[in-house]
Chain A
């Protein structure tokens, strides 16, 4: 999952985010990012912010997801918390 991010182009980044579940959990995506360590992660985040114009819509969709979808996402979180780690 790191590959498209390292490529750095906005289209692939966006695709990677979508694929990693921007509209769903985000968790695995962030977990992968966090393996980078502090400094590369911070740089990546700044790069992300610079590109955020193109991500804004996707972020808004996640924040404004309908209640049923929000509940389903939370239920996924709940099921994961019950399962093997």
Chain B
């Protein structure tokens, strides 16, 4: 049975193809349109999924959408009517959006893919998340916790999931309903801290490491603990009218002070050896970030305890936007409520497309695929030869004016070299990395989801702080308070990292502390609080990347590489060789591996 899953209309529109219960292709629309978090109808990613499997739309048995548009519309209607008459402008905006597109998802899917409406099913949003988390997990049974902003009426779901007789049951056993939402609260604080909502929640999390949770009691007034793991959000702190970019009221500002202007730089620096000077406002914002992070962790822990009590399961699957908070996931792992934790590579709404398809397949066929541990490498693979050949003939002066501010190396002619096999490409890359070079590493199919996991990565020596500073300034334009992370070969992970290493560490979804005696070896990829978000990579996860890690380890003693996503600031991660070459041309990246082809500036 072939099921195409789709998500759209909020952010991170995506498509995923599931054949007989196995995910075979998945990608976010942004990877093709090059618009970060693109919410449009995922037509390009849907076409890619079909092409990847050699299918046409008429071969599909079902198309599954990640939420029920009518139910979502009803919630939006009820929410605005309940605030009558002050919700006039929200009403106009919400209804116009719904009536002009959101409500007619079935029709747009049917028209875009030319599938009959009878083949289109809409899956409740949190069920999409739950099916995604559980059915891609390596567990026979688990509690599933889905935490996000809002899907239809639900903001948080608890499920009891088990595989049985070739199928699976994923049963809702608890929920928290809109408007009580951890995702919405965290996003409101993200806006207050001057970061972009639905994009830079990770900046709030990063900033938290520089603060003290002095405002935790104040945040607990905004999000009050309820019974049995639930919570209540006090609506008097939030202004949902949309009149202002900042969705908070005067009452909120009385508690937390003035918001941070988004252009004001923050002085904090993860790579500094001693704390940097920060004025009272900067410290206050860091303290507010630390406080909202601390309260989020308390709430997630309470939810996990409730999930454990209600289901009796010993393993946990997490999904929803809040499951991307790797620091909260780390707290959860350390709390020992569950023996193991799994977070899929794309726990947010992008993953909802795959979840919808998995659920629809399960509901229609009564069966699911056996545990396979489908990885993140479900995107598109490209032939790099034409792009590399074109690039070799380019005049370096021609692209000079397109270079990024901060990129310093004058454009030099590039040389292109093709290696006969993977092993020699890996050795050449390891040599460059060991000598302090910044390299782009684009291999095979791109990763599904927001993390670069060794197929579209920018890499450097994690012990080389100067290289990381150059990476931030001249390639990534990255704020100094945001940490890097490292990938490490699985057999050496225990040498560098403390505590348990649950499944979630495979896909960079969980924060771990770096052992004191190893911090210098990976200094450039450790946060101010001594933590990192590791990718623990085994030969079965990604053989080529694993061999690169080991090859680097033979030169430097530890098989770990600073691993960050292959993109410039504000851009989606590179998909095609053209995207990768553009980053190479515009920034100070020293070398670029496209498959076995090395593109390097002369003299690098």
A70 contacts B152, C-beta separation under 8 Å: no
B95 contacts A42, C-beta separation under 8 Å: yes
- Contact string, A28-59, partner B, CB cutoff 8 A, digits 1/0? 01110010001001100100110011011001
A12 lies within 8 A of chain B by Cβ: no
Q: Which residues of A contact B359 (CB under 8 A)?
A: 81
- What is the size category of the interface that chain A forms with chain B? 35 or more
B230 contacts A25, C-beta separation under 8 Å: no
Tell me, rounded to whole Å, the shortest Cβ–Cβ distance linking A37 to chain B. 9
- In the complex where A25-B71, A78-B124, A82-B363 touch, is A63 in contact with B84 (Cβ < 8 A)? no
Q: Which residues of B contact A27 (CB under 8 A)?
A: 68, 70-71, 74
B178 lies within 8 A of chain A by Cβ: yes
Q: Which residues of B contact A71 (CB under 8 A)?
A: 172-175
- In the complex where A31-B70, A38-B100, A71-B174 touch, is A56 in contact with B81 (Cβ < 8 A)? yes
Q: Which residues of B contact A31 (CB under 8 A)?
A: 70
A26 contacts B78, C-beta separation under 8 Å: yes
Of all chain A residues, which has the CB nearest B119? A85
A55 contacts B153, C-beta separation under 8 Å: no
Of all chain A residues, which has the CB nearest B359? A81
- In the complex where A27-B71, A77-B124, A81-B127 touch, is A55 in contact with B152 (Cβ < 8 A)? no
Q: Quick one: which of B548-599 are within 8 Å of A by CB? A: none
Tell me, rounded to whole Å, the shortest Cβ–Cβ distance linking B388 to chain A. 47
CA distance A59 to B80 in the complex (A): 9
Tell me, rounded to whole Å, the shortest Cβ–Cβ distance linking B590 to chain A. 51
Contact of B99 among A41, A52, A63, A78 (CB under 8 A): A41
A78 contacts B70, C-beta separation under 8 Å: no
A2 lies within 8 A of chain B by Cβ: no
A67 lies within 8 A of chain B by Cβ: yes
B177 lies within 8 A of chain A by Cβ: yes
Contact of A49 among B79, B91, B104, B174 (CB under 8 A): B91
CA distance A45 to B83 in the complex (A): 15
B177 contacts A26, C-beta separation under 8 Å: no
What residues of chain B have their CB less than 8 Å away from a CB belonging to chain A?
68, 70-71, 73-75, 77-85, 88, 91, 95-96, 99-100, 103-104, 118, 121, 123-124, 126-127, 152-154, 157, 171-179, 230, 359, 363
Closest 6 A/B residue pairs (Cβ) = A26-B74, A59-B82, A52-B84, A30-B70, A59-B78, A70-B177
